[in-house]
Each structure stands twice: as structure tokens, then as C-alpha cells.
Amino acid sequence: MGDHFEKGQHALLNEGEENEMEIFGYQTHGCRKTLCLAGSIFSFGILPLVFYWKPAWHVWANCVPCSLQEADIVLLRTTDEFQTYSRKKVMWIYLSALNGAFGLTPDHPLITDEECLINRAIRKPELKVRYIKVQKIRYVWNNLEGQFQKIGSLEDWLSSAKIHLKFGSGLTREEQEIRRLICGPNTIDVEITPIWKLLIKEVLNPFYIFQLFSVCLWFSEDYKEYAFAIIIMSTISIALTVYDLRTQSVKLYRLVESHNSITVPVCGRKAGVEELESRFLVPGDLLILTGNRVQMPCDAILLDGSCVVNEGMLTGESIPVTKTPLPQMDGSVPWKTQSEADYKRHILFCGTEVIQAKGACSRTVRAVVLQTGFNTAKGDLVRSILYPKPMNFKLYRDAIRFLLCLVATATIGMIYTLCVYVLSGEAPGEVVRKALDVITIAVPPALPAALTTGIIYAQKRLKKRGIFCISPQRINVCGQLNLVCFDKTGTLTREGLDIWGVMPCDKNGFQEVHSFASGRALPWGPLCAAMASCHSLILLDETIQGDPLDLKMFEATNWEMATSGDNFHIREVPAHAMVVKPSKTASQVPVEGIAILHQFPFSSALQRMTVIVQEMGGDRLAFMKGAPEKVASFCQPETVPASFVSELQIYTTQGFRVIALAYKKLEMDHHTTALTRDQVEADLIFLGLLILENRLKEETKPVLEELISARIRTVMITGDNLQTAITVARNSGMVSEGQKVILIEASESTGSSSASISWKLVEEKKPTAYENQDNYINIREEVSENSREESYHFALSGKSFQVISQHFSSLLPKILMNGTIFARMSPGQKSSLVEEFQKLDYFVGMCGDGANDCGALKMAHVGISLSEHEASVASPFTSKTPNIACVPQLIKEGRAAFVTSFCMFKYMALYSIIQYVGVLLLYWETNSLSNYQFLFQDLAITTLIGATNIFVLVLIVQLAVCLFILFADIPDLYRRLDLLCTPILWRVCIVIMLSCNFIVSLIVEEAIIENRALWMTIKRYFGYRSKSQYRIWHRALANDPTWPPLNQMSPSDLPECGKEVSYSNPVFESNEEQL
């Protein structure tokens, strides 16, 4: 049901987004509702319970399909593989409540403008708004377009000029009231779920309902002992689960509670500036940011001034990021695409801390509210915790299938029992009890407890090793991992960067490398001035803070940083400007210091940053630093050394991080604010290369070797340079000696040519010249005949990955089969890559330090965060030890828990089937086991399964007790257990039969079931092949003589390639600076 709908009855919600859902319209039907109510009464509450478990059935039973416009109930279905249903009631917001405040009428000017979604949602003349609330987000009905749309943010189509014009002066009080009523409060409301609610939700689990049914049946049969045992086990299990859920609820509440109690200055169009509680903020409000250390209560677009923000809550690293105002540009292009740099540079994200706010030209710092509540960046993070991605794990799928088989078996047993006892003339009540008994025997009520035993013990062991888990069910999945992705910076390599040296250049080319390890100060010159001033560092509480790269570069100069005072008077240098001065240990400098007048901040899309500075008593200069290739493109060609490419390649292929520096002199008669970025960044003079090193962590290489030896694939996903990533992969053992690296480069389509992809074999050479110092990588032009047969790895950039995904989609699975190195990857591309690996049926783990990895950590089957910051709160696993040694530990514990769960499942299933068969045989004689006999089996077997560490000992004790009872000849004991005394020979025969059964079972288990070689032989003989996608592709590529293509270029207009889609990818992304 629910799949055949007419036009208007069905639509997509959040189309193209991660939380995309189908929405179906329904209208409550009176007769159906009455029948369901009667059914609920006559079924003694079973029907409402079924509806609770199956919301779609509830809707289908009570309602009839209708258009979404007329619906009072909507049914939502996720578009992922799980297709989860949820039921939501359509509610109304009545604007008539505002009539008394300012006389709101249908023709009021505030609601006649239908450009904005809020006005389109208002139904006239009734002045009311239809809406639904899904996963904390409010969706209103757009009367013009006839669909539900998300509310609580400014429209994406607004241009930058429109934002400045419409919201630059703030909102009127009337506009605020209307928006407040429709958009809802600006709160990230996470209630501490009451214990009674958690308890009811847990108790209504189908397993516990079945246990309740079993317990009631046993009490009716006077089987109290085991009933009490199950009640105790279930109560402990429910109490522990409720305690864990309550603890998580309290933690999450404490994480967000401060967000809802912030007071901020808001500028109204008529009312002026007034203090307002953050929960009253609405999209379009104008915030006035004053002072330092301001917590952002919403997402906001910066309109005036500049801010330095700590985005640790989102990135996992407390690195100050400079935010610039949204430029007021002409045109109707949406503001996100209108900005020359990454649009996020203009957004102050909710939950981040504004540590410094500076107004331009003595004006205030102003920002317009972009998104409120759960629409914000912090709200989205909290929602991902509240509504995690469902987990599809084969063990649980198979367990459910097997349980259904047991239910079918129990049904057959019930029919058999009814026939036997009815024919024998037993009382109807006794017949019903005996038939229902078969269900509790065939489907063991203690099964859920048995399946969680291994998980509980594994979680305890992980906690002792400093690995914390917020999703215990994922521990079993860890045992299935066969591919692990790693971030590079901070994960495989050490956190900070160290200055290795600087290579100045002059008219004759590059000079000798200046090493800072010698302790010699860098001689004064433009290069020294660039290192001292071309950065985004700030001075906060007498401490220099900023990007680690900038910090290391500045520290290498031995200069000091200060803020100019009110008595600081230099032309066009504002008071409280940032000033850098040489310290006593610095080299002799002819200037007193350098004042930083203006910054063009670093952008991953632009790959560079530029500053305008004023030498005290000297010239006005512009300095640029960034990606070497990008910086060189802005320089006068004659100033770039001829050996630039070869020198750059030498250092990047050794794993160094290389930054280029350049400068130019500016005319003093130009005001700094009048200069555009294009004017400042033209005709620069190349200064040299700054070389930094990022060493591997000690644990990296042995851990990767251990994973590779266990046949677990390792993949590197980094935002760093591609050649640096290749070298780190070689040094870490991810690419071992003798293995080849094939560089894949894909180019976007242009006006004259289609997109293309090229394949080049990267060769490792050992140079003989002293100045080359180490191995470097170049492209091999000639390919040997046997090179295709050797082991190889693909390396590609984020830009190439995106082009391949869109233009060469048929090649993507082939590339991923051997893709090991992915560089210059944005956070979104990291998530996409993990998802693509999952499509190949890999069980994917992701290990990152929390910076830029949150999306991939959430997307992976197992996310392991090496950061304890809030950004990693959504990751299932967090390691206190900041290295990848936790990965093999987690896999080992996962395998142990998985094997334990599987063995417990087999043990409980066999126990129930054996008892089931035995009872049915006794039923044939209209006989049964006594309560004490049932008790001995059930209590001794099922209540001790939790002791996994002494499981064998428990079995030995059970066997000893059984033998004692068998041969004890104690009449009182036999009488209490309802046992019949039999001849000794019979008992000996029973022991011999049991021993033979044990020996046969052991031989079958070890020689057949656990004999991997035998099963592999059988599979080969019958031609069985794995159906996993990555296995299918592996076999196909192994038999393809043309794969991999080398030194070739393929255009996208080939039949095998995908359609062309334009895409602009941000490159030169630093893990420290990317959101």
C-alpha cells in the first residue's frame, strides 16, 4: 500500500539532500477510525501496539489517500535502503493572534509581497499557515508552488545586494512577530527525556512484549521460578538501557542548554538597538556584535566589519578563522554563488565563538540572521545525534529471518499439539496452555539478552583502553570491517608543522636553503617581512593565536606582535591595528615594525591569502602566500626561477609542505579600502619557498602493516597536496616497495572540449645529485610489458574525483577498486567517497581527528574520532589516545563480540530446538516435562550464558551436575524433580549416546563447519562466486588485459562515460582551515 498515488498526493521532501523523504497525503476517515477503535477494544490493546510498531499500517487503516493540499495526516518514507515510515499530523498556525497587536489583515503590506516563502505560506483571507514538524524541522505549505518547504532560514535565491538592501536596517517589530510565529523559536531544544517515557518505549519493544506474554503464561502454569528469573533478567536489561539513554540525553542537553540562554543586541528598523533573548531571533534580524568572546546563537551573514571566530565546535580544532563581510555586488545572482571566495567565509556559524569583532571605519559589526534553531550548523549536528543513520547489519537481518523460521516452526508445533490433545480429550484450557507453551519453547525469551552479551564485555574492554562508544550495536560491525579510510594530517602524521627551512630566490634563481635548525636568524629583506606579516594571527589575552602554519612561520622570524594604541598616528593606519615588531634576538632591521592594514583572507577556493602592510618609516607593501603554483601565476614571469617546477617537485615528493611567498610595492596615495583584490594581486615579485615538514606518528607504520597483513584495505583521504600524500603513503607502508602508483587526472569540460581523463604511471627514482637530497617522483613515459601485472594503486585529487563521478561514472567503481590516495578532498567529497565504497559492499571504517571529517565519520559503518571535541560527538567511537593504534584494537574487539554473538545465537537456537523436539515427542504420549525439569534446563542454561569469560567452566559444572543426578540414586531428589529411577545400564547407555553425539558434533564442527579449506574447495568445485560488488569488480578487472590504461587520455564523449555537469571544486584545502 502507499505506492499508487495520483498527482498531488505524493512529493519529495528535502529533494537531493541527505535526509530526503517521500511524503504522502492522507485524510482521516470517520468509519475507518471507528472500526479501528472497536478493533483496539476487542483485541485488548494488541491493535494499537501493532500500529505503534508499524506507523504506516496505522495511517492505511484510519485514513484514505488525498492530495497533500487537503491532507490532515502525512506519511513519510525515507528514500534510503531502509525505507522507514513515520506518521505526522498536519498542524495550523493562526496569525489572527496578531490582530490585536498591529491590526493584521489579508491586504496588509507586510504579507502581500509574495517574494518570500513566509508570505507564500499564509493562506488568505483566513490568515493561517499549514505546517508539519519532521525531525525538529518545521515545514510550511507553500500555497503558490503547492508543496511543503523548510522554514527557518533566508531564501537561497537572495542576491547580496538584496540582503544588504532588505535586511541592512533590520526588521520592523511587526515583521519580527510574524516571522517568530511562523518560523518558531530560535532554540535547539533537547529535552531530558523523562524516565517513564524511556521506560515505556523500551518495554514496548516486541521482544519484551513477547517476554511479558511468556511470563503471564508461565504464571498461569505455576512455573513461577523461571518466570521470576526472566523478570529479573529483563528488569536489569531494561534498567541498564534506560540508564544509558538517560545519560546520553543529559549529556546532549548540557551540550546545548547554554545556546538557548544568550542575550544579544538586535537592531530594529524603527526601534533601534535593543537587547533580546536569543530564542526570539528570526531569520532577517540584524545583530550588532560588540566586544569579544561572543557565542553565536544562530547562523548569520556578516554584513559589516570583520570577525575572528573559533570554529572548534564544527571543525574539532580551536583555530581562529577570519570572517569577512558579504560584498554588496550588483546583479540578481544568488549570494552563495556571487561571492568570489567560499561563501562560508561570510557566515558566522551557530555554536562558534566570536573571539574578536572589528568594525570598519569606526562602524559597528553587523550580521543578519541566516538560519535559526535546528536549521543551523549546530542544530544539524545535534539532529544527526538525535536521529542517527539506521544500521543495516547482516547478522541482525539473518537473526530476524531465523526468528521468523522459529515462529513458523512454533506454529507447526502448535497445530500438532492442538491435534494431539484435542483427540486425546483434554480440557480446552489445558490444550490452549500446552499449545502456547510450544511458542515459548521454540522462540527462547532470553535470546535478546544472549545476543548483547559479547557487546557488553567488548564495550568494557574498550573503555579500559580509552576507546569510548556511544552506539554499542556498532561494535559487532567493527568485526566486519574490510576497508579503513584515514585522514592524513593529525591522524597518520603529527599534529603540528615544523619549519624545515626557507629557499629564497633572486634574479639568478634559487639560493641556498636557510635552515632554522642552526639557530641563525633570517636576514632582513622582503622575504623576512612577508613571513612576519602575511598571516591571520591575532593577539588575544597576550597570547598569539591562529593557524599552526602561520604560527610556526611567524615564530621562525623571532618577531613580536602587538596592538597599536590610541596614540598611534601613522597615515591610514587605524588605532588598535595589528603591529609586528622585531625582537632583540631578531636580525638587524632598518624599520621599527610593520602595521597590517588590510587582509584578503585565505580561501581554499582561491588557494592564497594577501595582506597590505605599512612599514613604519618605510614603504607600503602587499604580501601574498599560498599554493606555489597559484602564487607563481600572479608573479612577473621573469622573477620566477626557471627551476621552480623541479625544485617544488623535489620537496613535495619528500612529504614536505611547501608554501610560496611574493610581494609588490604599493603607491602611498591609494587608500587601502579602495584597492580591490585583483589590483593588489597583480605583477608580484616572487620571493621564495617556505618548506615545512609534517612527520609520521610512531604508531602509524606498524598499525598500517598490521591491517594490510590482515587483508584489510587502507585508504588515505586528505586535503593536502597530492604528491605529499603519495610520499606519506609510501613512507607509511600504505603503498609498499615495488608497488606502482598511477596518477589519474580528470579535466572539466570547457567551451571547446569535453571532459577528459588521463592515466600516468608515477615512478620513484633515487637521484644521484647531492642537492636533490632524497627520493622524488616523476612521470614514467615508457611502460614495461609486465608493469600492468604488478600491484598498483591509483592516486587522484578531489577535483578529479568529482569530474570522474559526474562525467565518467562507469569508470568510478574500477578506479575505487585500487584507489588508495585521495588528496585535496573537501569534507563533502570525503563523505561521498565513503558512500561510494559502501556501494561496492565494503564495510567501511573512517578514522579522523575531527577536523573536516565529521561527515565521513557519520557516513561510515564505523566512525572513529581521535578528537574529544563536540564535533566528534556524533561519531560512534572516540579514542582518548590520539593515534590510529585504536583501529586494530577496535576491529579485534568487534570480531570477538561478533563471534560471541553468533555463538550465543547458535547455542540458544540449538537449545530451544532440542527442547522443542523433546517436548513434542512427549506430547505424542500426552506427557510433558515437569516444572522442575523445565527449570533445571532453562535456569541452568539461559541465565548463566552471560558469564562468557568462564563459559567453558560453567558447561563443565553443568555436565558434572547432570552426571551426579543421573547416577546419585537419591530418591528424594528424583521425586522432587519428577524423575523415574531407571536401571544403571540404561543410564550408562544414555551417557554413551551423549558422548557419541558430542564426539560426532565436535568432528562435524571442526572438520566440516570450521574447515575453511574444505569450503573453499567446495566453492571452487561448484563455481560459487561471492556476490559482493567489490569481488565481482575484482574478478572482472583481473581478466581485463586493457586495465589499467597507462599514458592515455580519454574524452567523456565515449559511450561508457556519464553526462556532463559543470562543477567547481575548492582546492588547496588545509585540514586546519577547512570547515
Q: Summarize pLDDT for 37-61 with one digit per residue, the tens.
A: 999 999 888 899 999 889 999 999 9
Those residues with Cβ within 8 angstroms of residue 551's Cβ, 6 or more apart along the chain or in another chain: 537, 544, 545
pLDDT band at 649 (very low <50, low <70, confident <90, very high): confident
Give phi and psi for 1024, each to the nearest 5: -75, 135
Structure confidence by residue, pLDDT tens digits, 250-293: 877 877 777 778 888 898 887 788 888 888 999 999 999 887 77
pLDDT at 831: 82
Cβ neighbors of 37 (< 8 A, separation 6 or more) are none
Per-residue model confidence (pLDDT) at position 716 = 92
Give the pLDDT mean for 187-192. 85
Cell (9 digits) for 1011: 574447515
| pLDDT-based confidence at residue 821 (cuts at 50, 70, 90) | very high
Q: Cα–Cα distance between 892 and 457 in angstroms, integer?
A: 13
**pLDDT band at 395, cuts 50/70/90?**
low
CA distance 64 to 1071: 52
Would residue 487 show up in a list of annotated catalytic residues for this protein?
A: yes
Question: Which among 492, 491, 460 has a CA at the least distance from the CA of 475?
Answer: 460
Q: Is 704 in a helix, a strand, or coil?
A: helix
> Do 953 and 945 form a contact (C-beta atoms < 8 A)?
no
Higher pLDDT, 1052 or 359: 359
Residue listed under C-alpha cell 620513484:
764
Q: Is the pLDDT of residue 1057 over 60?
A: no
Q: Is the pLDDT of residue 340 over 60?
A: no
Report the Cα–Cα distance between both ends of the chain, in Å, rounded.
Answer: 43
Confidence at 731, pLDDT banded by 50, 70, 90: confident
* Average pLDDT estimate for 926-940: 72
How confident is the model at residue 871, as a pLDDT? 45
Distance, in Å, from the CA atom of 299 to the CA atom of 381, rounded to the nearest integer, reads 13
pLDDT of residue 429: 84
Per residue in 735-794, pLDDT (tens digit) is 888 888 899 988 877 666 777 888 888 765 443 332 333 333 344 444 444 444 448 899
Flag whether pLDDT at 95 surpasses 90.
no
Q: What is the pLDDT of residues 32-43, one digit of tens each?
A: 999 999 999 998
DSSP secondary-structure letter at 573? B
Q: What is the pLDDT of residues 206-229, one digit of tens each?
A: 888 888 888 888 888 888 877 887
Residue 528 has pLDDT above 60, yes or no: yes
Between 483 and 249, name the one with better pLDDT: 483
Residue found under cell 574539532: 316
Helices (DSSP H) in 122-205: which residue ranges?
Answer: 160-167, 173-183, 195-203
More confident residue, 714 or 721: 714
Q: Is the predicted pLDDT of residue 18 greater than 60, yes or no?
A: yes
Instruction: Examine the pLDDT at 325 and tell me if it is beyond 50.
Output: yes
What pLDDT digit, counting tens, does each position of 874-899 carry? 577 888 888 889 999 999 998 888 88
Residue with cell 511458542: 439
Listed residue (854, 585, 591, 824) closest to 716, CA to CA: 824
CA–CA distance, 852 with 316 (Å, rounded to integer): 8
Query: pLDDT by residue (tens digit) across 630-639?
Result: 899 899 888 9
What is the pLDDT confidence band of residue 1067, given thresholds at 50, 70 and 90? Answer: very low
d(CA 355, CA 538): 10
Q: What is the pLDDT of residue 778?
A: 43
**What confidence score (pLDDT) does residue 479 get?**
87
The sign one gets for the Cα dihedral 736, 737, 739, 740 is positive
d(C-alpha 828, C-alpha 958), whole Å: 56
How far apart are alpha carbons 701 and 836 in whole angstroms? 26
Q: List the grid coordinates of 1055.
A: 559511450
Instruction: Report the distance separating Cα 183 and Cα 175, nearest Å.
Output: 12
Position 257 scores a pLDDT of: 78
Q: How confident is the model at residue 946 (pLDDT cuts 50, 70, 90)?
A: low
* Helices 700-709 + 722-732 axis angle, to 10: 70
When the pLDDT of each residue in the chain is averaged and rounded to a whole number, the result is: 80
Whether the CB-CB separation of 183 and 283 falls below 8 Å is answered with: yes
- Catalytic residue from among 299, 304, 487, 720: 487
The band of 1024, judged by pLDDT with boundaries at 50, 70 and 90, is confident
Please give the C-alpha separations between residue 135 and each of 132, 203, 280, in angstroms, as whole numbers.
Answer: 10, 23, 21
SS3 content of the chain, % helix, strand, coil (to 5): 45, 20, 35
What is the model's pTM? 0.72
pLDDT-derived band of residue 605, with 50, 70 and 90 as boundaries?
low
CB neighbour list of residue 443: distance below 8 Å, 6 or more residues apart: 210, 403, 406, 407, 410, 912
| Helix H or strand E encompassing 801 | helix 798-807
For 409-532, strand residue ranges (E) read 467-469, 483-486, 498-506, 509-510
Give residue 76's pLDDT. 92
User: Which of the listed ranges 293-297, 704-708, 1037-1041 does the model predict with the highest average pLDDT?
Assistant: 704-708
Helix (H, G, I), strand (E, B) or coil at 1056: coil
Write the pLDDT tens digit of every residue in 77-94: 988 777 889 999 999 988
Range from 252-256, 585-589, 787-791, 862-866 carrying the lowest mean pLDDT: 787-791
**Which contiguous run of DSSP H or E holds residue 897?**
helix 886-924
Task: Label residue 230 by pLDDT band (50, 70, 90).
Answer: confident
Please tell me which of 349-363, 415-429, 1061-1075 the model is most confident about, judged by mean pLDDT.
415-429
Average pLDDT over residues 907-916: 83
Question: How far apart are the C-alpha atoms of 1047 and 1066, rounded to whole Å?
Answer: 27
Whether the CB-CB separation of 552 and 692 falls below 8 Å is answered with yes
Structure confidence by residue, pLDDT tens digits, 97-135:
776 666 677 777 777 777 788 888 888 888 889 999 998
